[in-house]
Amino acid sequence: MRVENLKKQESVVESVLFTMGQSVEIRQLAAALESDEETAIQAVERLKEKYDKRKAGMQIVRLDDSYQMCSRADYYEHLIRVAATPKKQVLSDVVMETLAIIAYKQPVTKADIEKIRGVKSDHAVNRLVEYDLVYEAGRLDAPGRPALFATTEEFLRRFGVGSTEQLPEMNVEQREEIRSEVEEELNLKIDEEGHLVDEPEKDAGTAEEPVDSETGMEKTEENESGAIISNTEIEKEIESEDNSETDEEDSIS
């Protein structure tokens, strides 16, 4: 392909992105170029590289399967001198925690979010939807068909990542720390995949033997002769006495 054609492709892409003023899907760029999507991607990436190389006032960012042209963050302090400063949305710790769960677990239901956090999350989820950081991505095929939540393009734009695959991964130490905190707070056992582990149910007919908190051994007492006997032996002795009393009552009657 001749250089002139390559330059024309870049010019078409530049014109479309500038005019739209928002994210444009790759398929739409391909339609504008009358080409396949791979050719469209190559044209955008060439233009993006040129902008980055000369630190132009505009930059092109990829957002999942879309591209958008926007001003470069380096020149923000100059822009606000002539443009209205956008209202900053302050995210509380609770909202940030909820957003992190959605970002790493998406699509996820509100019930699953609350299971992880241990508290109601209606307010936090509603706030994230209001801020356009989270949206309802569908319904779970389960009783009640609960809503599934996922992150938006605005989330990617705000946090400077091209896709959720670029989110930083937690190392083993961080996962262990989070799991320990959740277990301690909710008194639950959680496996390495983040799933709850069912505790084995105790046999209702089997009672636990009293244990001395200091020694960790079964508690014992002395009988009248000074001999050491365990609680188990005491219970057997009491049961034997009860049976003897019952036999005496039967004899009298």
H-run or E-run covering 219: none
Q: To the nearest whole number, what is the mean pLDDT of the chain?
A: 76
Q: What is the pLDDT of residue 242?
A: 56
What are the tens digits of pLDDT across the range 174-199? 656 655 655 565 554 545 545 555 54
pLDDT tens digits along 128-139: 999 999 999 999
Label residue 73 by pLDDT band (50, 70, 90): confident
pLDDT computed for residue 2 by the predictor? 40
Q: Tokens 């033997």, residue?
A: 209
Write down the architecture of domain 93-183 according to CATH.
Orthogonal Bundle (1.10)
Per residue in 13-42, pLDDT (tens digit) is 999 999 998 999 999 999 999 999 999 999
Residue 216 predicted with pLDDT over 70: no
Which of 135-149, 152-166, 202-216, 230-244 has the highest mean predicted lDDT (pLDDT)?
135-149
3-79 has CATH 1.10.10.10 classification: yes
Exposed/middle/buried for 133, CB within 10 Å: 0-12, 13-18, 19+?
buried
Q: Which residue ranges does the chain devote to CATH 1.10.10.10?
A: 3-79, 93-183
Between CA 176 and CA 54 the distance in angstroms is: 44
C-alpha span between 165 and 156 (Å, rounded): 11
Q: Report the range out of 141-150, 191-200, 231-240 with the highest average pLDDT.
A: 141-150
The secondary structure element, H or E, covering residue 145 is none
pLDDT for residue 66 is more than 80 = yes
Which of 56-65, 79-88, 178-187, 193-202 bottoms out in mean pLDDT, i.e. has the lowest? 193-202
Q: What is the pLDDT of residue 228?
A: 47
